[in-house]
Structure 1
Amino acid sequence: MTAIFRTPFFIFLTLVLSNAFQSLLYSEVHPYVNLGRNVFDSLKTQDFKKFFNQSVFSLTETEFRTFLLNIRNQDIRNHLTDLHKLPFPEDANTTQKKWDIVFAHNWRKEWRHLNRNTNGMVKSESFMPLLHGAEKYSFQWQTVELLKVEVLLPLTWQNGRFELKRDLDLSEFEQDPRTIFVDRRVQYRIKPDKSTYSKALMIGTITEDSESLIKANILGNGSGQGDIILNFPFARDAPLYYFCPDQKGVGGEIIIKDFMDYDKPNQRHDLLLTMAFGNPVKYFQIQLKDVLIVGEDALFFGRPEWIGEVNLPSGILY
């Protein structure tokens, strides 16, 4: 008699759901990557409307009001609070109460300032300069390839410690101001400047312990030369730590979050779009400035910059 072995239904269902979850997990696209791709496509097809829709100028008044009211970014709130000239009442004794007053008095002013940028201004000052930059290299956009969309994290040495570009979380959450938040499923490029010369940045699982240095999902970790590339496929419950093996107290925590996890500051980031074109192939970059998450999407708030021709950056294969 031939035995027929059947997988119990609940085990079969678990396997199906697990495979479906894994497929969904790896098919997710970070909003930053979507933004970079959309901007690239708008240039490739010379579609200004699509380009415009990736910018802060595409927001309606209601969308802008909601975004600004709920912005989880202490640096942005502090900037607008500093511009507020009216005295605060005595009972405005918390940063949140002060923000409520600042927002109520100033959000329309910020909206009017934003709304003064007409479509024509955005096209002439942001869209066309990128196309003109490409024209100098005789770009044939149909054959240009987008290789990578990355978050740029400049690294400097200031006041005796490492400084990575970041915005602070709201003060009521009491985060260590040295903490760096990164998302999974998007590549980060830590770019040291000359001030960090002879000071190697390391990332490990234990603070200030070079033996805990990790190389999985990190390129150039601890080398002391060139860029450091981070690209984590999963969030982590435990933080990582950035530090210098030769000096104490110069780093902080790195917390890796899911990009759909909103329990973190909404930081301004610059994105690098790296492209390939020509025969022999050459490499070019565009920088999208002050990118923020708005709802479930990412929009650029600053004026994009045509960087031009570059060497193929480390961590990008072609």
Structure 2
Amino acid sequence: MVEDVTKILNNKEKLLTEIYFDLQLFFEQKYGKNTVVLMEIGSFFETYEVNNDTHQIGKAKEMSELLNIQLTRKNKNIIENSISNPLLAGVPAVSLERYLNRIIQTKKYTVVLVRQKGEPPHVKRYIANIISPGTNFDYLIESSENYLVSLLIDCNHQIYSVGYAAIDVSTGKTIINEVHGTREDKTYALDEVFNLLQAYKTSEIVLTFNHESIDKERIYNYLEINASLHHSINKKRARINYQNELFERIYSIRSLLTPIEYLDLERHPYASESLAILCDFIIEHDENIIEKMSRP
């Protein structure tokens, strides 16, 4: 991901607004439509939108309404909005934390913060933070549980298997489970996972499907994953070698056993991969959370 984003940000042949929308598209594909890019431009953080006959992209209107700020255009003297003259909503950089809190407390958006460094004309921009409902530790008002959950879902002959991994981002408490249905109770795994989602206050779910033929809508309905619960689909699988490398680094494992064996996960491949996917997701957002993770 880092290489792709760096390539977008360092494109010298495009306007800054074009780069902005390339980032918006990239992160929408990764985290879903409720993604907001806030880019530092001088002394403001700005979000853009194009809404015309050719393009519909961006969240400037939504942010102006949510944050109670004026919606304008990059060049307000030109009525039409376009990629080069988008709709604009901006907040002063000195007040960013206050406005960011309002966005995060909706528990709806993934916010990509693009900061700047250097002085004109040698300004460079970089991804400073990616804040989602499950990784918003610095913006939590309540001290209650705030679990980020990874689900790896498989289905064979209509029998479901699920790997469950969860971390409370405020404490680092980590929970894992692996559940399998049976011929007699094909949806047993889904029932157990539904109970886990209710038992531990879940703010965000990362879903990985073992194959494309799994009926995603049925999963959403069965687990009651709807618009009010922030969720995204992960398409990157974690191979065994990568899982071992990741766990060795995160849990500082020094043993003759492989890290998967050390964590007693060798007989639980769904739970092991689900945990690795969860760790990968957290590292992309805020690597500091990893330091708090307890052994599952």
Q: Given the two structures, how large is their TM-score scaled by the length of structure 1?
A: 0.25
Computing the radius of gyration from Cα coordinates, the structure with the larger value is 1
Q: Which has the higher contact order (CA 8 A, sep 6+)?
A: 1
Q: Given the two structures, how large is their TM-score scaled by the length of structure 2?
A: 0.26
